[in-house]
Amino acid sequence: MKIAGLIAHTKGPSFKPIALLVVVAAIAVAAALSTAARADGEAAPIFGIKIPPGYRDWKLISVAHEEGNLNDLRAILGNDVAIKAYREGKLPFPDGAIIARLAWSYVSSEENNKVFGRQQSFVAGPPTNLQFMVKDSRKYASTGGWGFAQFNHGKPADEALLKTCFPCHEPIKARDFLFTHYSP
Amino acid sequence: MKIAGLIAHTKGPSFKPIALLVVVAAIAVAAALSTAARADGEAAPIFGIKIPPGYRDWKLISVAHEEGNLNDLRAILGNDVAIKAYREGKLPFPDGAIIARLAWSYVSSEENNKVFGRQQSFVAGPPTNLQFMVKDSRKYASTGGWGFAQFNHGKPADEALLKTCFPCHEPIKARDFLFTHYSP
Average pLDDT over chain B reads: 85
Q: Tens digit of pLDDT for each residue in A62-103?
A: 999 999 999 999 999 999 999 999 999 989 999 999 999 999
pLDDT computed for residue B90 by the predictor: 86
pLDDT tens per residue, range B105-162: 999 999 999 999 999 999 999 999 999 999 999 999 999 999 999 999 999 999 999 9
CB within 8 Å: A111 and B179: yes
Q: Report the residue count for chain A.
A: 184
- B154 closest CA partner among B1, B31, B43: B43
Q: In this structure, is the dihedral angle defined by the CA atoms of residues B175, B176, B179 and B180, taken in order, positive or negative?
A: negative
CA nearest to A179, candidates B119, B114, B62: B114
Of A123, A169, A170, A175, which to mutate for an interface test with B (greatest number of B Cβ within 10 Å)? Answer: A123
pLDDT given at position B87: 98
Which element (helix H / strand E) includes A26?
helix A16-37
Q: Is B108 on the interface with A (CB under 8 A)?
A: no
pLDDT of residue B15: 43
The pLDDT, as a whole number, for residue A2 is 39
pLDDT of residue A151: 98
- Per-residue burial over B13-34, b if 16 or more Cβ lie within 10 Å, else e, is eebeebbebbeebbeeeeeeee
Distances in whole angstroms, Cα of residue A175 to Cα of each of A24, A56, A91, A93, B114: 41, 24, 7, 9, 16
Nearest CB to A77; choose among B60, B66, B181: B60
Instruction: Cite the beta strand spans of A109-161 per DSSP E.
Output: 121-135, 146-152, 155-156
pLDDT at B41: 87
Helices A16-37 and B16-37 meet at what angle, rounded to 10? 80
ipTM exceeds 0.90: no
Tell me the longest C-alpha to C-alpha distance in chain B: 70
Stated as kind and residue range, the H or E segment containing B156 is strand B155-156
pLDDT of residue A101: 98
pLDDT digits (tens, 9 = 90+) for A97-147: 999 999 999 999 999 999 999 999 999 999 999 999 999 999 999 999 999
pLDDT at residue B36 tops 50:
no
- Check: CB of residue B133 under 8 Å from CB of residue B49: no
Q: Is the pLDDT of residue B19 over 80?
A: no
Which of these, A122, A133, A135, lies nearest to A76 by C-alpha position?
A: A133
DSSP-assigned states of every residue in B69-118? TT-EEEEEEE-HHHHHHHHHT-SSPPTT-EEEEEEEEEEE-HHHHHHHTS
Interchain pair B63, A112: CB under 8 A: no
Residue B182 has pLDDT above 80, yes or no: yes
Rounded Cα gap, residues B131 and B138, in angstroms: 21
Q: What is the mean pLDDT of residues A26-42?
A: 48
Q: How confident is the model at residue A41 (pLDDT cuts 50, 70, 90)?
A: confident
CA–CA dist A50, A178 (Å, integer): 20
d(CA B182, CA B64): 11
**Distance between CA atoms of A44 and A30, rounded to whole angstroms?**
28
Among A75, A109, A111, whose Cβ lies nearest the Cβ of B63? A75
Cβ-contact A49, A43 below 8 angstroms:
yes
Share of chain A above pLDDT 90, in %: 77
Q: How far is CA B181 from CA A4, A64, A109, A143, B76, in A?
A: 42, 18, 11, 37, 10
Do residues A143 and A166 touch, judged by C-beta distance below 8 A? yes
Partner residue opposite B63 with nearest CB, options A56, A70, A73: A73
| Residues A17-33: tens digit of each pLDDT | 555 554 445 444 444 44
Q: Do B63 and A74 touch (CB under 8 A)?
A: yes
Q: What is the mean pLDDT of residues A31-59?
A: 77
Q: What is the pLDDT of residue A8?
A: 35
Provide the pLDDT for residue B16: 52
pLDDT in tens, B46-74: 999 999 999 999 999 999 999 999 999 99
Q: pLDDT at residue A4 above 70?
A: no
Check pLDDT > 60 for residue B103: yes
Quick one: pLDDT at residue A15? 43
CB B150 within 8 A of CB B162: yes
Of the candidates A25, A30, A8, the residue with the CA atom closest to the CA atom of residue B22? A25
- Measure the CA–CA gap between B98 and B133, rounded to whole angstroms: 6
User: What's the pLDDT at A115?
Assistant: 92
Give yes or no for a contact between A61 and B63, defined as CB atoms under 8 angstroms apart. no
More confident of the two residues A4 and A27? A27
Q: Count of H helices and E strands in chain A?
A: 6, 6
